[in-house]
Amino acid sequence: MPQLTPRHLALALGLSLGMAAAPAMAATTPAVFTAKVDHGSLTLARGKDRIAIGFITPTALRIHVLPDGESSPASIVIDPKALHAAPANVKTRTAGTVTTLSTGAATLRWDAHNGSLQFSDAAGHVLLTQRDVAKLTGGKLTLDHARGDALYGIGGYNATEDASAGLLRTGTQKITAGEQGHAGAPLVWSTAGYGVLVDTVGGTFNLANGRIATDDTSRKDLDVYLIAGAPKQIFADVAAISGRTPLFPKWAMGFTNSQWGIDEKELLKIVDTYRAKHIPIDNFTLDFDWKDWGNDWGEFTWNTTKFPDGPSGKLKQMLDERGIKLTGIMKPRVHINTVEGREAAEKGYFLKGNQPAKDYFSGKLVREIDFANPQARTWFFDHMKSAFQSGIVGWWNDEADNVSIDTQHLDMQRAIYDGQRAMTDQRVWSISRNFYLGAQRYAYGMWSGDIHTGFASMAGQRARMLSAIDVGAMQWGMDTGGFTHGTPTPENYARWVQFGAFVPVFRVHGDSSQKRQPWVYGPTAEKAAADAIRLRYRLIPYIYSYEDQRRHSGVGLVRPLTFDWPNDPKVRNDVASWMFGDSLLVSPVVEQGQTSKTIYLPAGQWTDWFSGKRYAGGQDVTLAIDAKTWSDIPLFVRDGAIIPTQPVMDYVGQHPVTQVDVEMFPAARRTSFDYYDDDGTTYDYEHGAYFRQPLGLQRTADGVTVQTGAVEGRFTPALKFYLFKVHGDAATTVTADGQALTRASSLAALTQGSGEGWATGTDRFGAVTYVRVNAAQARTLALVWGHAPM
């Protein structure tokens, strides 16, 4: 394309902005760029400056600005394995001074007449406009968008700051993850249908007057990704760019008890009490107590006074027999006057500029490890191997946020993830109290830091969780019960455990003198908490299937209501409720003595999980709350729900699951769910050793259609049958692929039989049809109702 003559922008601005309202601007002279289209991409050139523009997915566009034609390495945010090749279907067109790249799902429009770039959705609505591309070569991104667009992302809240602002973001927003409890990402997105991801560690977003602008980013060669789509599509592309999450072990879907101030004798007593009471638990996490902290090899070795059977592996054996995994705390620092400290100093593995400081626990001098150094990371995990081999199979990476580095915690986890994966095929589990986008690639869970006890602190965790998820920290948890400032009341503890049962990482933890077992808080709290834990374990098949879905979709088990109802203004800043998977909406009780609770239900039809009462969506509903026994959890089932469940066990995998009971609530629209399983412990799923079967559901004119699709993967689970519990009416006939199934006289008779069949009955939801069919087969089931469908 020939070199273009500069023109004033006064008239052209209106033409370039389309539907995106923007502040009035004085007329300026656009920079002179030449444009070249090649293989579906666009390159703008001015002297030595280059701007490379191209789609990397049908909905994600990369703009890479290369001042003087030079680039720098991508930051930790970007997955080094991410593909940046253009999709095959990119269409290009040049007409006059306008060049477009289009995938059918999104369009980029370059107007050389006024030097602007426009990014539009599939319907042609302009989402974002960069007015003067010359500003990009100076490292400044200024994207105009429609005024009033709701903006999210960038960062959450640290452990102690006020979280009452909720989820919406405006004004100057620092991109950081440097304080405990904080999740951050160079990502801002809108329910208006777009996202902006910048490859930077640190910097600011300035959000005001219909504009997204960046400042103080860490790269001179500005690297930006624009994404078009609803929230779930945005996070699918964010995952494609920044990296997908490996699966946690299946036991991590269960319950974890962390404790500071414990020894081997007390540990075994607590575990045995859980087992005697049949309160499910899978993981016990040890604080400082497990380490010989401050002595020659104290960072990595057992405290044999407190845990005499730790080093030999005998303690691991005793806990394995009880179905308990043992995980332990790690710190990012080592004592300088130890064998390992002297070795770290000799090899240059201490963080430069970090001076020795007195550790609060041992009282001795420590220094931080430089985890950005690959050799230091390898060295660190090499010393951890003996602890792993003797029984510590998961890692609680604490306090990697004290050196004002946004990625210290991330790099610490890289040391563990890379080291453990090189050593064994056993899946990595870890939690840290910070998150920066990119960390999810390293089996990274986050918790919200050293939070206070009490109802106010508990209520604040809702915004902390949902804002962390809004930047991609999909595996989030908290110190359920609170960590500091005393003991929660029995009511506070019970309600907090109910809350914790509906977050991705479910754990309790308290300060050194605090116990967080359910029976500590009296029989009423114990029952309420134990019931919530058991409900969590009943939902393990549902939860674990979302572990797989997150890996592929980028969207986790928990998500704000904006992900499913982006156009509903009433959920724009709603932190009181969230979706737990696609089928369940939960709104835990977080107020002391509450006797009623008003909850907004978005559009659709909803059923109370506990009472079976049905509600129309798009309105507030008010529930009576049990303020005496705390036995209720506001939990609603969405129409179209497909919820696989299993018998409650004392721990995940205690017994083979040969039948999965699937709660089904048919809707007029077709819904689907991918049931997933694998060995739960190794990375064999990465090589095809998994079981995934799609389940479909739809209400028809005279009944319901249920489908089981073709199985993917080569893993064979213990599963033999699905028992579909189809709610809404009692069927008169049930066929499978056109052939009548045998009717049983009752549910008991059906489940005691050895094969397929169906029966009818009632439960708390009303009339129900039970259909039992073989798993791992593609089938179409047709249920004909006795009455008109609900």
Q: Residue 584 forms beta bridges with which residues?
A: 580, 637
Q: DSSP E strands: which ranges in 125-179?
A: 126-130, 142-144, 151-155, 171-174
First CA to last CA across the chain, in angstroms? 62
Q: Which of 121, 223, 282, 398 is catalytic?
A: 398
Q: DSSP E strands: which ranges in 583-738?
A: 584-586, 596-601, 605-608, 614-616, 619-624, 635-638, 642-645, 659-664, 671-677, 691-699, 703-708, 721-727, 731-736
662-692: string of b/e by CB count within 10 Å (b at 16+)? bbbbbbeeebebbbbbbbbebbebeeeebbb
The SS3 of residue 461 is: helix
**Residue 649 and residue 537 in contact, taking contact as beta carbons nearer than 8 Å:** yes
How far is Cα 60 from Cα 81, in angstroms, rounded to an integer? 16
Task: Give CA separation, 507 vs 5, 252, 477, 790, in Å.
Answer: 64, 10, 7, 39
Amino acid at 652: V
Residue 401 is among the residues annotated as catalytic for this protein = yes
Helices (H), 720-769: 747-752
**Residue 54 and residue 217 in contact, taking contact as beta carbons nearer than 8 Å:** no
Nearest to 561 by CA among 582, 540, 547: 582
Q: Residue 396 forms beta bridges with which residues?
A: 329, 431
How far is Cα 108 from Cα 462, in angstroms, rounded to an integer? 37
Nearest to 584 by CA among 546, 638, 537, 626: 638
Q: Which of 132, 223, 289, 401 is catalytic?
A: 401
Give the number of other Cβ atoms within 10 Å of residue 266's Cβ.
Answer: 14
| DSSP secondary structure code for residue 531 in this structure | H
How far is Cα 445 from Cα 292, in angstroms, rounded to an integer? 26
Record the tokens describing residue 748, joined without a space: 């008991």
How far is Cα 98 from Cα 37, in angstroms, rounded to an integer? 12
Amino acid at 25: M
Q: Which residues contact 41 (CB under 8 A, 6 or more apart)?
A: 52, 53, 54, 55, 86, 90, 101
Q: Which of 111, 450, 470, 582 is catalytic?
A: 450
**Half-sphere exposure of residue 265: CA atoms within 13 angstroms, side-chain side:** 2
Record the tokens describing residue 36, joined without a space: 């070249």
The SS3 of residue 417 is: helix
Q: What is the total residue count of the chain? A: 790
In what order do the strands lie in the sheet containing 558-559? 558-559, 578-580, 584-586, 635-638, 605-608, 614-616
Record the tokens describing residue 442, joined without a space: 């390293």
Q: SS in 3 state form for 322-349?
A: CCCEEEEEECCEEECCCHHHHHHHHHCC
Residues with catalytic function: 398, 401, 450
